[in-house]
Amino acid sequence: MATSTLVQLLSTEAQGGSAASMNRSQEETFIAGGTIAAGDWVSWDATGQTLSDAALYVIEAIAVGTVGNSLAFGVAKEAAVSGAKVRVCIGGYCAVASVPAATVQGSALIGPVTVAGQATIEVPGTTSGNLCGVALGADTANFAEVMVIKQF
């Protein structure tokens, strides 16, 4: 887990970007507390684990009513099964994140409201919650490039 917060990935090729961009993101490695798909928003496994293990294990962020899942903090970079290691983007640029079909560039994203693992577009007065990201473009088949707001 604990990688340096001083060193960030600056290589555009490693992140799938072009030479004209300088993609910056931070990743941590966790243990999957259940099945996680690539692009899923994840949260700590606060109910399946005890004490400090809750910060070591992540699960697909569950959908939590109109307020969204305030525990959602990052995006899985790869699929994982329970007990496997999983890389999670915890801050900055993420090329593939699960978002709703109405996502456009600049959409503010909160933790899942109706679909587990999928961020929800914040609509003040209707769906508002803990901001976990911002869409950098419109969705393509419910996935978009996002900036993950660092919370961990």
Q: Give residue 35's pLDDT.
A: 97
Q: What is the dihedral of CA 23, 29, 35, 39, to 10 degrees?
A: -10
Give yes or no for a contact between 30 and 49, defined as CB atoms under 8 angstroms apart: no
Q: Tell the CATH topology of 25-148.
A: Virus Head Decoration Protein; Chain: A, (2.40.300)
How do residues 98-113 score in pLDDT, each as one tens digit? Answer: 999 999 999 999 999 9
How many Å separate Cα 62 from the centre of its chain? 12
Confidence (pLDDT) at 127 = 75
Q: What is the pLDDT of residues 22-34, one digit of tens each?
A: 557 899 999 999 9
Q: Which residues of the chain have pLDDT under 50?
A: 7, 19-20
Closest listed residue to residue 128, CA positions, set 115, 117, 113: 113
Q: Kind and range of the H or E element at 76?
A: strand 72-76
Q: What is the structure's pLDDT at 20? A: 44
Helices (H) and strands (E) in the chain, counts: 0, 9
Q: Which pLDDT score is estimated for 18?
A: 54
| Structure tokens, 26 | 């931070």
CA dihedral 18, 107, 109, 12 (to 10 degrees): 10
**Per-domain residue ranges for the chain?**
25-148
